[in-house]
Amino acid sequence: MLDKLDQIVSRYEELTRELSSPELLSNPSAYGKVAKQHRTLGEVVQKYQAWKGLKKELADARDLFDTSDDDEMREMARLELDSLQTRIDEADRELKLLLIPTDPNDEKNVILEIRAGTGGDEATLFAAEMVRMYSRYAEKQRWRFEVLEASESGIGGLKEAIVLIEGDKVYSKLKHESGVHRVQRVPQTEASGRIHTSAITVAVLPEAEEVDVKIDAKDLRIDTFCSSGPGGQSVNTTYSAVRITHLPTNTVVSMQDEKSQIKNREKAMRVLRARLQELEEQKQHEAQASERRSMVGSGDRSEKIRTYNFKENRVSDHRIGLTIHQLDLVMEGNLDPFIDALVAHYQAEKLKTEAVAA
């Protein structure tokens, strides 16, 4: 571990020098990538320096304990040894977590796709509430949240929503949200007061940059049409809506949120790149892709990863067995208890894998 940490320190110092080079300063895109890598390694370097400081304090305290003739000083040194050892053990654990190979997508922005599944109108209403929940969570994280496309139902719900979330390490926090989310509650339209169960699907895709996915113009068919609202009513009479079809994969993205055809085309291309990158990763990692597809599934209630029970004010994540009786707060965007627990769970799984491999 120490050899790897020393290599990271060396690379961090190298990046520090690069950041002040005129060549890099004149290239904003390249500068941003180097700065992001520098920031990530800086976290490891800071922890490593703190760990070395604690080790030095431990050696000094042990020396005092071994050499002092004063009983009171020896007792103070013994207490300090116990405290320092606890802190070093914690620092060891944190460093091991930081050295786990990271997902290369963790730093990326996210294309969030939410679709109503089983449950009819009630599913569309819940889909709309989930979009709001993620919006509130993004606000708390100081991320930028933009609805790229939304298809409304007749009662004010959402059949589908595509959202762009931009910020620091968005994918690292939201990637475990992919899957079927089930809701149990009494619908407003249910006169008899029976609890209704419905479901939506959430897909979290890392946003692909142009350098990540090369798209040949001849592989695209771009159609324009007049945008429309719920029920097919006309929103405007100009051909501002855009439908882009990637012919080799038959991937289709439609966008009509903006009044400008150019803006709709830009948004559609961002979503298309994210979906094509997902397809490419599926080809390269078929086993992983199979698992990810199974997480989203068909939208059936039985494939749930999380249940939201309004009557009991309860939210349960079935993957890690975590239940919280604060559904009202969760729907206001207080997702940290689940997101932090999921990140910790999968980090622990990676640590086990690393330990076995070692």
**Residue 325 contacts residue 314 (beta carbons within 8 Å):** yes
Where do the DSSP E strands lie in 117-227?
144-152, 158-166, 179-185, 196-206, 220-225
C-alpha angle 225-227-233 in degrees, rounded to nearest 5: 120
Q: How far is 226 from 236, CA to CA, in rounded Å? A: 6
Domains of the chain: 2-99 (1.20.58), 110-202+300-357 (3.30.70.1660), 217-284 (3.30.160.20)
Q: How far is 111 from 108, CA to CA, in rounded Å? A: 10
Nearest to 301 by CA among 116, 172, 152, 71: 116
Q: What is the pLDDT of residues 107-156, one digit of tens each?
A: 889 999 999 998 888 999 999 999 999 999 999 999 999 998 888 888 88
pLDDT tens, position by position, for the chain (358 residues)?
788 888 888 998 999 998 988 888 888 878 888 888 888 888 889 999 999 999 999 999 999 888 888 888 889 989 999 999 999 998 988 888 788 777 788 888 999 999 999 888 899 999 999 999 999 999 999 999 999 888 888 888 999 999 999 998 899 999 999 999 999 998 866 666 788 899 999 999 998 876 567 788 898 998 888 866 554 444 555 678 889 999 988 999 988 877 788 888 888 888 988 888 888 877 766 654 454 454 455 444 446 899 999 999 999 999 999 999 999 999 999 999 999 999 989 888 877 776 655 5
Question: How does DSSP assign 321-357, residue by residue?
Answer: TEEES-HHHHTTT--HHHHHHHHHHHHHHHHHHHHHH
Mean pLDDT estimate for the chain: 85
**Residue 106 contacts residue 36 (beta carbons within 8 Å):** no
Dihedral angle, C-alpha 69, 73, 78, 83, nearest 10 °: -160
Q: Quick one: tokens of 216?
A: 């040949």
Dihedral angle, C-alpha 41, 136, 142, 273, nearest 10 °: 60
